[in-house]
Copies of this chain bind each other. A is one copy, B any other.
């Protein structure tokens, strides 16, 4: 295929795959798309290890990296005290989590210990490591670097330019798109509200033409990757008919053979319809779309405490959810019931267990079928 994204990234098929699983990343790149490794939870050491593994397994094909680099990375004045943070979590929220577990026969165990570990880990994300992560990243032959949150800092765009690596940023509104292009981003990833994880609420079907029109109006030719609910090649064709130059998909890889998704959650995803997700503040404090389970339902109920702001709500929700995740893989039925993970409405289209390469092949076939279906309407 020939378009600005294929040219810029050096790929055949403009399907960009976001995954925390290096196997998925390598498999998508080898199949003609581009894998982008989600390195948000990495330290410089683990990132080095993951990217080296990908280098060894990607057959020289292009791949990318997605990290969070706060815009004010150079400030570094924002040291957070873990104890102070932990002390800010109301007992009510902790108790509510424990009660959900208890109602489902799940022993909460020592959540305080898990909570402290999580708080220390989260502290790493807040920019202290960003410089070191960028250094690791650019020692590897990455062909795309994406910033998962807000406007990339100058140091990131500078390093991208220096190494000839396009810098991408996620946006959820036309207004964000305008600020990102003003900041010099090379690729916009426009994420509709049906996406998994953190999302706005403008749907992909509206966001893509709205962003593309706004770019056209200012004479800007930054290419757009469409994201949000996209799990098939016909949706990819749809997004590209509306002006996107390709797609960015995350959820669809979660049910592949290679994915490290909890097998219990993988099964739930394969049988879920598009109605089985909820966009809620209860996991991180900001709206993020997740697979519905009795856990998310409990937090949506009238009597649930109001989710805390970021980063506090993660300290409420992650420790129990990680414990549930672990227990669900044994024979704890309550934990199996409660288990959940981030996923978009596209989960309703993910109904078959497949390898990553089969998903890419399916996209290609479905894309062509969609194009031919559209063309057939125009035949006399």
Contact = CB atoms under 8 A, between A and B. Distances in A.
Contacts of A192: 203, 205
A337 to B, nearest CB: 22
A42 interface: no
A203 B229 contact: yes
Contacts of A14: 377
B371 A274 contact: no
A275 interface: yes
A369 to B, nearest CB: 9
A345 B380 contact: no
B206 A194 contact: yes
With most chain B CB atoms within 10 A of its CB, the pick from A200, A241, A374, A376 is A241
B210 A173 contact: no
Contacts of A349: 206, 209-210, 213
A348 B206 contact: yes
A17 interface: no
A2 interface: yes
Contact of A371 (B194, B204, B232, B241): B241
Contacts of A232: 209
A202 interface: yes
A82 interface: no
Contacts of A375: 371, 375
Given A374-B241, A377-B3, A380-B2, A234 B206 contact: no
Interface in A253-282: 273-275
B242 A370 contact: yes
Interface string A324-368: 000000000000000000001110110000000000000000000
A235 interface: yes
Given A203-B204, A210-B348, A240-B377, 20 more contacts: A173-B275, A194-B206, A203-B345, A205-B229, A205-B230, A205-B235, A205-B239, A206-B274, A206-B345, A209-B232, A210-B274, A210-B349, A234-B243, A235-B242, A237-B238, A238-B242, A241-B241, A243-B373, A371-B374, A371-B375
Interface of A: 1-3, 14, 173-175, 192-194, 200-207, 209-210, 213, 228-230, 232, 234-235, 237-243, 273-275, 344-346, 348-349, 370-371, 373-380
